[in-house]
Structure formats: C-alpha cells, structure tokens
Amino acid sequence: MKVSPSILTCDFARLADEIAFIEQTGADMLHLDVMDGVFVPNLSFGPPVIKRLRPLTGMIFDVHLMMKYPDRLIDAFSQAGADIINIHLECDSPLDKTLEHIRSLGKIAGLTLKPSTPAQSVFPYIDKVGLILVMTVEPGFGGQSFMQDMMPKVTDIRNEIKRRGSSVMLQVDGGINSDTAVIAAKAGADTAVVGNAMFTSENPTALTRQIQAL
C-alpha cells in the first residue's frame, strides 16, 4: 500500500519539523486535512498554510477537503501547491463541475465517501477521478477507532474498479495502524492515510515500511 501520513495530530507549533520527520520515514505522500467547521465540527487550516509548506518538501500533497462548498477554493488550493484535490461526495458543490475544474488545473481529482454513503454512489465517478477515499471514521477528528464495517464497501468499490480496468487509487482514512492496514489491504485498499499511529509509533519508519509492504 501507499502511505499518506496526516499531519492533523502533529505539533502545529513545529510544523516544518513534523514535515521533515514524515519525509524521512519514506512515506509516499502527505495527507492534508482541511476542515471548514461546517461540513465537519472542526477547523484546521487552509491554502495559506499549505502554500508555506510547499517549498519545504517534494512530497505529493494529498489534500482532503472536508468542506461544504469546496468549489469556492479549488483555485486557491491549486495555487497553494496541492497535487491531489479530494472533495466529499456529500458536499454542496456541483460534483461533475468541481471535479472537471480540478482536472482542468492539471491536478488529480479525488472523491471521498463518509461512512453512511454507499459504495454504489461513487460508481458514476470512477472514470472521472484519480483517487477514491473510503472514510473509516466519521470525518472531523484524528485518533478515532477504525470502522471495520466499512470493509465490504472497500471491496465493492475495488471489484467495480477491476471490472472497469481502472487504475484509480482506493484510499482508506481513519484509525489506520499496522493491524488495521492489513484488514484494509485485504479488503482492496491500496493507499492508507496514517495520522495518530504515525505520531505515536516508536518506529515510524518501520511502520511506514510495514504498511508499504502490504
């Protein structure tokens, strides 16, 4: 699996050091959780912070927009240096138009499903995105427990991806550690967001390699 560490539970007073720490684990990309306080009951950071992080690392910026109206800030996230711009299927922006906008900027478009959203709702978009994210916690906070009951959804989406011969990434996000990553990989996920586990692990490089080997 590819590993995309989330900085949501890092020490925000030492952001540059935390990014350097993640980079030296050999992680594949960097997951940036953007929360608007409306779509989810929490606030994090936005384009100005991402713009300042951009020169610090060559890692792929995997930007997860937990926003009610992501279309309003697509240009800003693109200019700030996002590589993957991932919106929620349940947002209030027009999905086709917003995904097309992201692609027109030369970025990878992503689509995320909250736990209550069924697998079938993403099927019409499989050929329009480069990444599908199945949330394995309710979005809003780091450090929550992995929802194993999301695994049939991951498998249903994986089967549909195979049926179409698509190469879209299938990511899981929430409660991923060395044990739950095994379960998610078996279910068909190929990319794992790792937040809390990365910052509490005694050996984050070994953890990254272990998940990459799945």
**Residue ranges binding ligand DX5 (CB under 6 A):** 6, 8-9, 31, 33, 64, 137, 139-144, 173-176, 193-197
Min separation Cβ 77 and Zn ion, Å: 14
Q: Report in angstroms how near the CB of residue 66 gets to ligand DX5 at its nearest.
A: 6
Q: Number of helices (H) and strands (E) in the chain: give both, helices first.
A: 8, 8
Please identify which of the residues 62, 71, 156, 173 carries the catalytic annotation. Answer: 173
Residue numbers at the binding site for Zn ion (CB under 5 A): 33, 64, 173
Compare residues 64 and 153 and give the one whose CB is closer to Zn ion. Answer: 64
96 is catalytic: no
Residue 43 DSSP one-character state:
B
Provide the 10 A C-beta neighbour count for residue 65.
28
| Residue 88, H or E segment | strand 84-88
Picking from 176, 174, 132, the residue whose alpha carbon sits closest to that of residue 155 is 132
Phi, psi of 35 (to 5 degrees): -125, 140
Closer to ligand DX5 by Cβ: residue 88 or 158: 88
From 33, 36, 62, 156, the catalytic residue = 33
Q: Which does 204 bind (CB under 5 to 8 A by kind): Zn ion, ligand DX5, none?
A: none
Q: And the tokens for 6?
A: 């989330």
Closer residue to ligand DX5, CB minimum distance, 47 or 174: 174
User: The tokens 């993403």 sit on which residue?
Assistant: 122
Give catalytic residue positions: 33, 173
